[in-house]
Chains A and B, each alone.
Chain A
Amino acid sequence: GQQLNQSPQSMFIQEGEDVSMNCTSSSIFNTWLWYKQDPGEGPVLLIALYKAGELTSNGRLTAQFGITRKDSFLNISASIPSDVGIYFCAGQGTSGTYKYIFGTGTRLKVLA
């Protein structure tokens, strides 16, 4: 099936460091969502973006809707051990089918 290109695939960082990850697509999207999935659980919505260029924060998390509408970025500042998990981006296209395409995920591990 269709998927977004999400990078990096995995990251090992020290507690307190900042983290950046991104998603890119060959298609234009109307909406970008970022989810976090803890082991054995379903994804939890972190941030939703609805407009090109939009920059939205949720605590230590900041996400941006790329101006080209083909990419999005998620930054985590001052990482803590509970940030461990898999981060997924999801994009909703312009076809009106309300179907989301998900990225392959970025696996984040935080070393104390």
Chain B
Amino acid sequence: EAGVTQSPTHLIKTRGQQATLRCSPISGHTSVYWYQQALGLGLQFLLWYDEGEERNRGNFPPRFSGRQFPNYSSELNVNALELEDSALYLCASSFWGSETQYFGPGTRLLVL
């Protein structure tokens, strides 16, 4: 069974641009979570989607947004990129209400 997949693996942008990151959950999982992992830091919760709706949001500015599609895949959009947005962005999926989240390999975003 395929795990969580993310694309692209690497993304290079310049300040002020927009970045779009994609995630496909494990088949059967309806919940998708996004995390930011800055260099040397732990995982910071960004967003949680389930059944197409945003269920919860971390302490990030509104320029971090996303959506979940009918097939449960998800996009994370980061507008007006800043240098400090450079990080590994991890997506995880789970069954609704499940305690167990399974992570994808991440997208490494570099903002120059």
Contact = CB atoms under 8 A, between A and B. Distances in A.
Interface of A: 1, 3, 6, 30-31, 33, 35, 40-45, 48, 50, 88, 90, 92, 97-105
Interface stretch (B12-20, B70-78, B79-87, B101-109): B101-109
A104 B44 CA distance: 10
Interface string B1-39: 000101000000000000000000000000101010000
Given A88-B42, A98-B55, A42 B103 contact: yes
Interface residues on B, range: 20 to 34
Given A1-B44, A92-B99, A104-B42, A41 B58 contact: no
A91 to B, nearest CB: 10
A33 B100 contact: yes
Contacts of B33: 100
Contacts of A90: 43
B56 A97 contact: yes
Interface of B: 4, 6, 31, 33, 35, 41-45, 48, 55-56, 58-59, 90, 92, 97, 99-106
* Leading 5 A-B pairs by shortest Cβ distance: A42-B103, A102-B43, A104-B42, A31-B99, A102-B42
A42 B5 CA distance: 10
Contact of A42 (B42, B55, B59, B104): B104
A42 B103 CA distance: 6
Nearest to B3: A42
Nearest to B59: A1
Nearest to B100: A48
5 contacts: A1-B44, A40-B106, A42-B92, A45-B100, A98-B55
B45 A33 contact: no
Contacts of A98: 31, 48, 55-56, 97
Contacts of B56: 97-99
Given A3-B42, A50-B99, 19 more contacts: A1-B45, A33-B99, A33-B101, A35-B103, A42-B90, A42-B104, A44-B103, A45-B103, A88-B42, A97-B56, A98-B48, A99-B56, A99-B58, A100-B33, A100-B101, A102-B35, A102-B43, A102-B44, A102-B45
